[in-house]
């Protein structure tokens, strides 16, 4: 796994985390993708498939 794919994992995991955060906060529109902090960390490390 190269550095580019690692950076992509982190970037994609954080995008999903932001989407979930927007869904969790009142007044912001986001998709509830059942993402939690543990999912974000595993996805960023490349140890979990993406959820969305």
In a domain, 14, yes or no: yes
Checking if the pLDDT of 49 tops 90, the result is no
Task: Identify whether 51 is part of a domain.
Answer: no
Distance between CA atoms of 35 and 19, rounded to whole angstroms? 9
Against a cut of 0.95, is the pTM above it? no
For residue 49, being part of any structural domain is answered with: no
Question: Domain for residue 10, yes or no?
Answer: yes
CA-CA distances (angstroms) from residue 33 to 6, 9, 21, 50?
22, 17, 10, 10
Whole-angstrom Cα distance, residue 16 to residue 3?
A: 20
| Residue pLDDT, tens place only, 2-20 | 788 999 999 999 999 999 9
- How many independent structural domains does the chain possess? 1
């Amino acid at each position: 796994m190269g550095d580019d794919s690692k950076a992509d994992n982190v970037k994609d995991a954080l995008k999903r985390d932001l989407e979930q955060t927007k869904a969790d906060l009142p007044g912001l529109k986001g998709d509830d993708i059942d993402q939690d902090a543990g999912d974000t960390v595993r996805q960023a490390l490349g140890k979990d498939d993406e959820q969305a």
